[in-house]
Amino acid sequence: MLRSAALTAAVAALAIPGTGAGATAFSPAGEPPVSPVVPGVIVERQERPGPQVVHVVRIRQDPRLSVAPRLVEGSPLSRGSLRGMVDGGAAEGIVAAVNGDFFNFTSGYPSGVLFPGQRLVSEPEPSRSALIVTPGPALAVERLALNGQWQPFDARSGESGRVRKFQGVNRPLETGAEVVLYTPALGQATTPSGDGSRFEIRVRRDAPGRVLPNVPFTGTVIGRRAGGGSTIGANHVVLTGSGSQGARLASELPLGSKISLFPAIEGLPEDAVAALGGGPVLVRDGRAVVAAGEGFSTSQLTSRTSRTAIGQRPNGAIILVLAEGPSQGSRGVTAGEQAQLLQELGARTAIAMDAGGSAQLALVDRLLPSGATRSVTDAFAVSYRGVQLPPLPARISPNGDGVDDAATTTARAPVAGRLRLTVAKRNGGSRRQLRNRPLGPGSLATSLSPRALGLQDGIYVVRARFEPFDGSPASEQTRRVIVDRTLSHLTTRPFTRRKRPQVDTRFRLTRPARVTVRVLDAAGEPLRTLVRGKVLRAGRHRVTWNRRAKGITISGTVTIQVEARNRFGRSGLQDTLTLKRPASPLTQELRRLFGLARG
- pLDDT of 371 reads 87
Domain locations along the chain: 2-30+486-579, 40-141+270-384, 145-266, 395-483
CA distance 169 to 122: 5
Question: The domain 395-483 is classified under which CATH number: 3.30.1360, 1.10.10, 2.60.120, 2.60.40?
Answer: 2.60.40
Q: Please answer whether residues 350 and 337 qualify as being in contact, where contact means their C-beta atoms are separated by less than 8 angstroms.
A: no
Contacts of 239 (CB under 8 A, 6+ apart): 150, 166, 179, 180, 181, 182, 200, 201, 203, 249, 253, 261
Please give the Cα distance from 240 to 243 (Å, whole number): 10
- For residue 582, the 8-state DSSP code is P
Indicate if the alpha-carbon torsion angle 163, 164, 167, 172 is positive or negative.
negative
Q: Does residue 530 register a pLDDT over 60?
A: yes
Q: pLDDT tens-digit profile of 225-243?
A: 998 899 998 999 999 999 9
The model's pLDDT over 540-589, given as tens digits with 9 standing for 90+, comes to 999 999 999 999 999 999 999 999 999 999 999 999 999 998 766 665 56
Judge whether residue 596 has pLDDT over 60.
no
Least confident of 161-175, 192-206, 457-471: 192-206
**Are 2-30+486-579 and 395-483 the same fold in CATH?**
yes
Residue 155 banded pLDDT, cuts 50, 70, 90: confident
Yes or no: say if 500 and 8 are a contact pair by the CB < 8 Å rule: no
pLDDT value at residue 598: 41
Task: Write out the DSSP string of 247-290.
Answer: HHHHHH--TT-EEEEEEEEET--TT--EEEE---EEEETTEE--
- 430-466: per-residue pLDDT in tens? 799 999 999 989 899 999 999 999 999 999 999 999 9
68 has pLDDT over 80: yes
Segment 17-35 mean pLDDT? 72
For all residues of the chain together, what is the average pLDDT?
91
Q: Which fold has domain 2-30+486-579?
A: Immunoglobulin-like (2.60.40)
Give yes or no for residue 44 having a pLDDT over 90: yes
**What pLDDT does 28 receive?**
86
Which tens digits make up the pLDDT trace of 481-522? Answer: 999 999 999 999 999 888 889 999 999 999 999 999 999 999
* pLDDT band for position 9 (cuts 50, 70, 90): very low
Q: Specify which residues 431 forms β-bridges with.
A: 424
Share of the chain above pLDDT 90, in %: 82
Say how many C-beta atoms besides its own lie within 10 A of residue 53's C-beta.
20
Q: What is the pLDDT of residue 15?
A: 36
Q: Which residues of 249-275 are buried (b: 16+ CB within 10 A; e: fewer)?
A: bbebbeeebbbbbbbebebbeeebbbb
Q: Which residues contact residue 322 at a Cβ distance below 8 angstroms, ignoring those fewer than 6 apart?
A: 54, 55, 98, 306, 307, 308, 359, 360, 361, 368, 369
Strands 129-134, 274-277: pairing is antiparallel
Give counts: helices (H), strands (E), the chain. Answer: 6, 44
Asked which of 60-64, 153-157, 489-493, 576-580 is least confident by mean pLDDT, the reply is 153-157
Instruction: Tell me what pLDDT residue 13 has.
Output: 37
Answer yes or no: are the C-beta atoms of 444 and 410 closer than 8 Å: yes
CA distances from 3 to 8, 11, 419, 515, 542 (A): 5, 11, 57, 16, 14
Confidence of residue 594 (pLDDT cuts 50, 70, 90): low
Give bridge partners of residue 42 from the DSSP assignment: 36, 58
Confidence band, pLDDT 50/70/90 cuts, at residue 11: very low
For the segment 177-193, the average pLDDT, to the nearest whole number, is: 94
Task: Report the distance separating Cα 37 and Cα 95, nearest Å.
Answer: 7
- What is residue 197's predicted lDDT score, i.e. its pLDDT? 78
Interatomic CA distance for residues 4 and 414, integer angstroms: 60
Tens-place pLDDT, residues 379-429: 999 999 999 998 899 999 999 999 999 999 999 999 999 999 999 998 877
Ranges assigned E (strand) in 369-474: 378-384, 395-396, 407-413, 417-425, 431-439, 442-448, 458-468
pLDDT over threshold 60, residue 20 = no
pLDDT for the residue 2:
40
